[in-house]
C-alpha cells in the first residue's frame, strides 16, 4: 500500500485531459512579481519557483542516429535571505559512456531582475559567472551564480542538455524544498521508441497525449540532404501549486516522495528491423548480471580461499557454526573502502590480499568461503534507502549487495563489510523494503529486508527518594538486535569518560558512578547491557509541603515528535521496536501517596502500535511500568493524524505526577 502511493505507472495513451497551458515565458518579469513580499500560499517559503518548463525532443543524424535534447527553463522569486542560495545553480551531466559521445550542457538566458525606483532592472549573467568541474570519471558539473541577487529579486535561467543516451533520461523533478507555482513538461517521442512513464510522489498532475507527424532533415554520408518522416507521440504534463517538500520526522529517503516524472525505454521498433523488447523479467536481470565478468566470474573464484577455510573449520561440523565463524573472519579481516556496488572493481583476489574492498568484493569473498564450507549461499541485490526503491525489473536500480545463507530451511542475511553487523543484523540504510536474491541459473526471488522480530530496549530502575527531593538509584539498560547495533555504531569507539559525561547531560544532569557495559565491541549477536548508579536532584518538586515526582524520571517523554498540521510522506520507524521501562521507587519516611498516575493503554490499527502504562503502590514502594511496541516499520501518510493523536495522548498520560504528602 505504501509503495503504490509513492510510485505508480501513468498509462500514457489512455489519459487525456483538456489542459490548455497558460503561456509562461522567460524575460516577462512584472513589477507586481518584484513587489510581492511573501508567497501567497506558503508564507514561510524563502523562495518559490514561479514556473519550471521542460521539453524533450529527438534529433537525428546519419552517424549516431537519434539523440535526445532536453531543455529546461526556470523562473524563481526570492522572498527571504534564506532563499538567496537559489542564486547558485548546479547541474550534473554524464560523461562516462563507453560507446556514446559525452553529454553536452549549456546555460543561457540567465538574468536577475530587481525593482529600482519603481522600474524593472535586468542584470545579465556574464561568462565569468559559469563554472565547470569534473566530479569523477563518470560525471561533470556546471555551475552558474546569478548576479546582483537580493531579497525581492526574480531570477531566471535556461539550460539545454544534449545526449546520445535515449535509453535513460534525466528525471523531471517538479517538487523542491520551495513551492512550485506552475510546471509543464512536453515530450515528443518518435514512434520507434516506446517509453514507460512513471510518476513519483503524491501530487496531482494533468496530462495529455496524442499522435502527430514528425520529421528530421539530415545530411547523409555524401552531404546530400535527406528527410525522415514518421509518427510521433506528443505528451504534455502540467501542475499548479505544488507544495514544498520538506524534511519531516521519521522519514527514510526524501527522494522516494519527491514529485518526479521518469521515463524508461521499453521497446525499440525501427523500420525493417525486428522489434527489440527491452522490458526484462527478474530472471533476465539475474542472468545478465551473472554474465558480467565483475559479478559471475568473481563468484567462481574460490581456490585461493580454500586453505583459510580449512584452517577455520577444523572439527566444526554445524553449518550454522561454520557460517558464524566464516562471517566473523571476513568481517575482521576485510576493510570496507566506503564504496557501494553490486560489482567487483579490482577483483576479489586482489581485495583479499590487500584486505580492502568495496561492498560487493567483501561479500563475494564471504559467499565463496561459505560455499566452500558447504553452506548454500547466494548474493542478494539491494537498493539502499538513499538510492530509492526498484519496483520493476532492473539491473541498474540496485547499488548494494549482501549475502544470504540458507541452513535447514532458515535464511540468514549477512553483510561482512561493516564492523558491527552480525547475522540478520544489517546496516540501517540496507533496510529498504525488498532485496532480490539471484542465482547463476537465472532464478531469483524477493527477500524481505525489514526485520520481523522487534528490537528491544529494556530499562530497569531502582531508586530511593529522600525528603529533600534527592534521588539515589541504580539502572540497568539492555538493548538487543538493531537497538544494540545502533548503540554500537554511535558509541563503540567513543572514550568512556566522554560518553559518561554526555550521558549525564542527556539524562538531565545526573551524576553517574560505577558504570559498566558488556558486549559493546564483542559478542555482536548478544545484547548490550549498561549498568550504573546515579544521583540527582532534578526530578522531584517540593510545593506546599508535598513532593511531586515524575514517575519516568529521566526517561520522561514530554514532546510529541509529530507537530505538523499535515503530513506529505509516510512515517518511517526503521524497524520494529519494543521499549520497556520499569521504575521501582522507595518514598521518603514520613510520606504517603496522595495521588498516582492513572493506568492507560493506547492501540493503533490491529495492534501495530501498543502503548501501556501502569502503576502500583504498596506501603512505601511504588512500581511504575511503561511499554511502547511499534510492530511495523512504515505507516502511510494517511495515518499521520491518528498517530499524532496517539503520541499526544501518551505524552499527556506520562505528564501525570506521583504526589506524596506527609503522613
Residues 590-630: tens digit of each pLDDT = 999 999 999 999 999 889 999 999 999 999 999 999 999 99
What is the four-CA torsion angle of 633, 639, 640, 646, rounded to 10 degrees? -90
**Residue 21: its pLDDT value, please?**
43
* Confidence grade of residue 280 (pLDDT, cut at 50, 70, 90): confident
Q: How far apart are CA 389 and CA 383, in angstroms?
A: 6
Q: How far apart are CA 539 and CA 220, in angstroms?
A: 85
Tell me the average pLDDT across 511-536: 97
Residues of the chain by 3-state class (helix, strand, coil), percent to 5:
20, 40, 35
Q: List CB contacts of 201: < 8 A, sequence separation 6 or more.
A: 6, 175, 257, 258, 259, 260
Q: How far apart are CA 223 and CA 61, in angstroms?
A: 11
Backbone angles phi, psi at 264, to 5 degrees: -125, 125
Q: What's the mean per-residue pLDDT of the chain?
A: 92
Span of 6-15, 20-29, 32-41, 206-215 with lowest mean pLDDT: 6-15
The residue assigned the cell 549573467 is 125
The residue assigned the cell 586482489 is 350
Q: How far apart are CA 402 and CA 400, in angstroms?
A: 7
Pick 2-277's CATH classification: 3.30.70.1290, 3.90.25.10, 2.40.70.10, 2.60.40.3140.
2.60.40.3140
Span of 92-101, 301-310, 364-373, 551-560 with lowest mean pLDDT: 92-101
Q: List CB contacts of 91: < 8 A, sequence separation 6 or more.
A: 105, 107, 141, 142, 143, 159, 161
**Residue 223: its pLDDT value, please?**
79
**Residue 196: its pLDDT value, please?**
87
Nearest to 262, CA basis, from 234, 242, 237 = 237
**Residue 206: its pLDDT value, please?**
96
Nearest to 185, CA basis, from 166, 171, 196 = 171
CATH code for the domain defined by 455-662: 2.60.120.1130
Name the packing angle between helices 359-372 and 319-333 (round to 10°). 150
Nearest to 433, CA basis, from 396, 394, 481, 388 = 388
Judged against a pLDDT cut of 70, whether residue 16 lies above it is answered with: no
Tell me the average pLDDT across 42-50: 97
- 103: enclosing H helix or E strand: none
Half-sphere CA count of 328, side-chain side, radius 13 A: 12
**Residue 62: its pLDDT value, please?**
84
Encode pLDDT of 218-267 as tens digits. 888 787 888 999 999 999 999 999 999 988 889 988 888 899 999 988 88
Encode pLDDT of 404-451 as tens digits. 999 999 999 999 999 999 999 999 999 998 999 999 988 999 999 999
Cβ atoms within 10 Å, residue 245: 22
CA-based radius of gyration for the chain: 31
Nearest to 567, CA basis, from 246, 311, 264 = 246
Tell me the average pLDDT across 144-162: 97
Buried b or exposed e, range 645-662, using 16+ CB within 10 angstroms: ebbeebeebbebbbebee
End-to-end CA distance of the chain, in Å? 58
The ranges of the chain annotated as CATH 2.60.40.3140 are: 2-277
Helix (H, G, I), strand (E, B) or coil at 492: coil
**Residue 22: its pLDDT value, please?**
55
Q: Are 268 and 278 a contacting pair, CB within 8 Å? A: yes
* Confidence grade of residue 18 (pLDDT, cut at 50, 70, 90): very low
Q: How far apart are CA 370 and CA 352, in angstroms?
A: 15
Judged against a pLDDT cut of 50, whether residue 10 lies above it is answered with: no
The class that CATH gives domain 282-448 is: alpha beta
Q: Are 363 and 401 a contacting pair, CB within 8 Å? A: yes
Q: Provide, rounded to the nearest whole percent, the portion of the chain with pLDDT above 90.
A: 79
- 326: enclosing H helix or E strand: helix 319-333
Q: How far apart are CA 54 and CA 180, in angstroms?
A: 14
Cell numbers for 241: 501549486
The residue assigned the cell 549549456 is 106
Judged against a pLDDT cut of 90, whether residue 490 lies above it is answered with: yes
Cell numbers for 283: 530472471
Backbone angles phi, psi at 328, to 5 degrees: -65, -35
* Confidence grade of residue 508 (pLDDT, cut at 50, 70, 90): very high
The ranges of the chain annotated as CATH 3.10.620.30 are: 282-448
Q: Provide, rounded to the nearest whole percent, the portion of the chain with pLDDT above 70.
A: 96
Tell me the average pLDDT across 387-404: 84
* Confidence grade of residue 279 (pLDDT, cut at 50, 70, 90): low
Amino acid at each position: 500500500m505504501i509503495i503504490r502511493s509513492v510510485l505508480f505507472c501513468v498509462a500514457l495513451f489512455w489519459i487525456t485531459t483538456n489542459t490548455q497551458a497558460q503561456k509562461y515565458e522567460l524575460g516577462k518579469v512584472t513589477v507586481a512579481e518584484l513587489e510581492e513580499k511573501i508567497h501567497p500560499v506558503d508564507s514561510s517559503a524563502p523562495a518559490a519557483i514561479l514556473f519550471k518548463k521542460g521539453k524533450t525532443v529527438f534529433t537525428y543524424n546519419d552517424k549516431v542516429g537519434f539523440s535526445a535534447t532536453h531543455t529546461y527553463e526556470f523562473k524563481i522569486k526570492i522572498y527571504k535571505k534564506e532563499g538567496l542560495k537559489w542564486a547558485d545553480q548546479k547541474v550534473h551531466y554524464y560523461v562516462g559512456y563507453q560507446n556514446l559521445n559525452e553529454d553536452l550542457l549549456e546555460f543561457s538566458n540567465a538574468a536577475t531582475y530587481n525593482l529600482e525606483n519603481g522600474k524593472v532592472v535586468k542584470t545579465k549573467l556574464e561568462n565569468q559567472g559559469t563554472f565547470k568541474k569534473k566530479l569523477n570519471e563518470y560525471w561533470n558539473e556546471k555551475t552558474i551564480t546569478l548576479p546582483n541577487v537580493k531579497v525581492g529579486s526574480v531570477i531566471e535561467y535556461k539550460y539545454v542538455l544534449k545526449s546520445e543516451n535515449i535509453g535513460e533520461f534525466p528525471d523531471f523533478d517538479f517538487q523542491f524544498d520551495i513551492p512550485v507555482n506552475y510546471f509543464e513538461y512536453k515530450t515528443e517521442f518518435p514512434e520507434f521508441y516506446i517509453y514507460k512513464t512513471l510518476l513519483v510522489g503524491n501530487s496531482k498532475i494533468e496530462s495529455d497525449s496524442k499522435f502527430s507527424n514528425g520529421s528530421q532533415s539530415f545530411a547523409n554520408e555524401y552531404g546530400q540532404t535527406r528527410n525522415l518522416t514518421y509518427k510521433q507521440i506528443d505528451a504534455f504534463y502540467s501542475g499548479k501549486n505544488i507544495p514544498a517538500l520538506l524534511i519531516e520526522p521519521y522519514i527514510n529517503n526524501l527522494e522516494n516522495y519527491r514529485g518526479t516524472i521518469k521515463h524508461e525505454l521499453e521497446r525499440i521498433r525501427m523500420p525493417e528491423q525486428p522489434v527489440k523488447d527491452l522490458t526484462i523479467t527478474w530472471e533476465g536481470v539475474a542472468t545478465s548480471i551473472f554474465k558480467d565478468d565483475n559479478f559471475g566470474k568473481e563468484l567462481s573464484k574460490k581456490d585461493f580461499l580454500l586453505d583459510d577455510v580449512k584452517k577455520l573449520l577444523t572439527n566444526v561440523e554445524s553449518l550454522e557454526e561454520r557460517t558464524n565463524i566464516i562471517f566473523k573472519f571476513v568481517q575482521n579481516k576485510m576493510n570496507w573502502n566506503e564504496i557501494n556496488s553490486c560489482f567487483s572493481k579490482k577483483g576479489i583476489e586482489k581485495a583479499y590480499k590487500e584486505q580492502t574492498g568495496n561492498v560487493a568484493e567483501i561479500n563475494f569473498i564471504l559467499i565463496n568461503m561459505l560455499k566452500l564450507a558447504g553452506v548454500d549461499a547466494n548474493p542478494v541485490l539491494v537498493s539502499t534507502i538513499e538510492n530509492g526503491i526498484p519496483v520493476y525489473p532492473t539491473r541498474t536500480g540496485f547499488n548494494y549487495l549482501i549475502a544470504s545463507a540458507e541452513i535447514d530451511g532458515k535464511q540468514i542475511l549477512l553483510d561482512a563489510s561493516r564492523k558491527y553487523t552480525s547475522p540478520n543484523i544489517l546496516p540501517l540504510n540496507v533496510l529498504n523494503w525488498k532485496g532480490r536474491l539471484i542465482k547463476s541459473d537465472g532464478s531469483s526471488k524477493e527477500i524481505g529486508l525489514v526485520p520481523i522480530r522487534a528490537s528491544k530496549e529494556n530499562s530497569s530502575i531502582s531508586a530511593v527518594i529522600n525528603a529533600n527531593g534527592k534521588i539515589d538509584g541504580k539502572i540497568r539498560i539492555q538493548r538487543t538486535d538493531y537497538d544494540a547495533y545502533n548503540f554500537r555504531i554511535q558509541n563503540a569507539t567513543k572514550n568512556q569518560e566522554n560518553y559518561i559525561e554526555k550521558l549525564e547531560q542527556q539524562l538531565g544532569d545526573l551524576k553517574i558512578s560505577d558504570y559498566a557495559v558488556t558486549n559493546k565491541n564483542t559478542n555482536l549477536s548478544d545484547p548490550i547491557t549498561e549498568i550504573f548508579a546515579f544521583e540527582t536532584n532534578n526530578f522531584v518538586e517540593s510545593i506546599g509541603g508535598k513532593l511531586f515526582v515524575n514517575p519516568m524520571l529521566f526517561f520522561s517523554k514530554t514532546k510529541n515528535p509529530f507537530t505538523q498540521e499535515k503530513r506529505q510522506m509516510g512515517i518511517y520507524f526503521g524497524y520494529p521496536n519494543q521499549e520497556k521501562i520499569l521504575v521501582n521507587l522507595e518514598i521518603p519516611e514520613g510520606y504517603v501517596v496522595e495521588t498516582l498516575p492513572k493506568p492507560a493503554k493506547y492501540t493503533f490499527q490491529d495492534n501495530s502500535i501498543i502503548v501501556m502504562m501502569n502503576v502500583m503502590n504498596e506501603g512505601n514502594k511504588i512500581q511504575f511500568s511503561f511499554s511502547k511496541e511499534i510492530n511495523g516499520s512504515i505507516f502511510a501518510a494517511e495515518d499521520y493524524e491518528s498517530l499524532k493523536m496517539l503520541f499526544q495522548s501518551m505524552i499527556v498520560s506520562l505528564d501525570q505526577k506521583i504526589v506524596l504528602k506527609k503522613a
